[in-house]
Amino acid sequence: MIIALFSLVGVVLFPFLYWYYVVYVKFRSFRALPGPKPIPIIGSKIANDSVGILVDMQNLYERYKPTFVIYTGPQVRVVHSKPEHIHYIVTSNAHTTKSDNFDVLKGWIGEGLATSKGDKWRERRKMINQSFNMNLMERFMQVFNSASDALVKNLEKESGKDCTDILNYTNFSALEIACENLMGIKLKPEENAAEEEYIEKTKVMLRIVGVRFFSFWQRFETIFLMFSKHSKIYLDYVGTLKKFTLDVIERRSKTFKEERKEVGTENDFGIKKKAALMDILLEESERGTLTYEDIREEIDTFMVAGHETSAGILSFALFELARQPEAQQTLYEEIMAIAPEGDISMDQLNDMQYLECAVKEALRMYPQVPFMERQIIEEFELDGIKYPIGTVFSIPIINMQNDPDLFPDPGTYDPSRFLPENADKIPKYNYLPFSAGPRICIGYKYAMYSAKCSLAKVIREYEVLPVPGFNVQLEFQITLKSVTGINIRLKKRKHQR
């Protein structure tokens, strides 16, 4: 009886004792940093919904920047916006481990490139990197162009309407690009229902994992599945999304052996053909270095990241160009001067300086990954403060890139910020839409060319106009989204070529 009583007391007291150990012993050096006063066991009070998280983080940033500490239960997160601190972390080969918060994605995408760590991440990174070689971009351009043409055609029915949620169209376009360029599969018109289901369920899943990201107890898969109101939907949707991916893998694997003899051969220009990401993974599987589940993990990672990021960049850029007619006119004139009709080449995209600026400015205001985090696995010291193993080093990308002290008048979309003559005004390591250093987004050039090609073709054919009274309401779904959609109006241009 006495043993049982002591055991019960121990179970009740342990969470409190552990919490005080974390705050007052292990991470005591952080008590010198500002931040909201934590509640024992619970930690700092942060909203547990996808919209409120962004609001609370913005308020904390404005109050405590450039460096402050917040607690998610016993987890300690130090938020940094000092460029020298950020530089130290993102360029270090010792600090490439993402925080455990990203483990909330593992039940869905497993341990793909976005969530893997250590040697596994390094090996996968090296393997997959060949799929994003710049020599491949010319081949990718064919799909960028054809998908952009299809997008332009699909938007014809929206021309003249009072309101169009452009994200409904850019999501489909970006998913088709990802499937064809990276997976070697061209989606068929009769599969639109499956595409739509995939896109809608991805949106819900990202919202759920976004909430789990800042919730200590929901980060644990078992506890989340037992007690969360989202668990039933989560399990149902995970099954649907994995099935979509497995179907893609199965379709490609059937034709892989027939076509593999062409992979690595030379074309008429003496340039070696490269395999799509899927083919590279299938080759590794035949060598015994990857299992079928390994392939699914990587394909799921790139299916989600590939279409979500590209669609977001394009949609937010169109939204802001609709609100800034002078910037839109400057962009239109550049496009018409360089590529007035037909397909757009990579060289032409490289020549469109203002187009590059337009995309970069959209990424400044609406970074597709709002927060970047590293889990400290080697103790170090910055500004006299020790960072023990287990510290989460958090970089608030969205807050920095919309900080008036770093980017004057941050709420105004102004592509000229990124013109060469203004380049020295962009604070290095405070603009990180694709991260930096060893863990920089592996497909960032791919995403930029995809977004630029689609944006150029849409603006070439349509004038985009704002919807009176509409504004976006941002939410954190791991990627950045708008609860209210991304609404614009479209007006077909009358060309005099």
CB 232 within 8 A of CB 278: no
Write down the architecture of domain 48-492 according to CATH. Answer: Orthogonal Bundle (1.10)
What pLDDT does 12 receive?
53
Residues 6+ apart with CB under 8 A from 307: 171, 174, 175, 177, 178, 199
Q: Is 28 helix (H, G, I), strand (E, B) or coil?
A: helix
- Reported as a pLDDT band with limits 50, 70 and 90, residue 272 is very low
What pLDDT does 190 receive?
61
Mean pLDDT computed over every residue of the chain: 86
DSSP string, 319-366: HHHHH-HHHHHHHHHHHHHH--SS---HHHHHH-HHHHHHHHHHHHHS
Each residue's pLDDT tens digit, 43-77 = 888 887 889 999 999 999 999 999 999 998 788 99
Each residue's pLDDT tens digit, 106-145 = 888 888 888 888 888 888 888 888 778 777 777 889 999 9
Residue 23 DSSP symbol: I
DSSP string, 138-180: HHHHHHHHHHHHHHHHHGGGGBT-S-EETHHHHHHHHHHHHHH
Q: Is 262 helix (H, G, I), strand (E, B) or coil?
A: helix
DSSP string, 423-436: GGGS-TTT--BTB-
The H helix count followed by the E strand count for the chain is 17, 11
User: Residue type at 149?
Assistant: D
- Map out the domains of the chain as residue ranges: 48-492
Length of the chain: 497
Q: Say if residue 257's pLDDT is above 80.
A: no
What pLDDT does 270 receive?
33
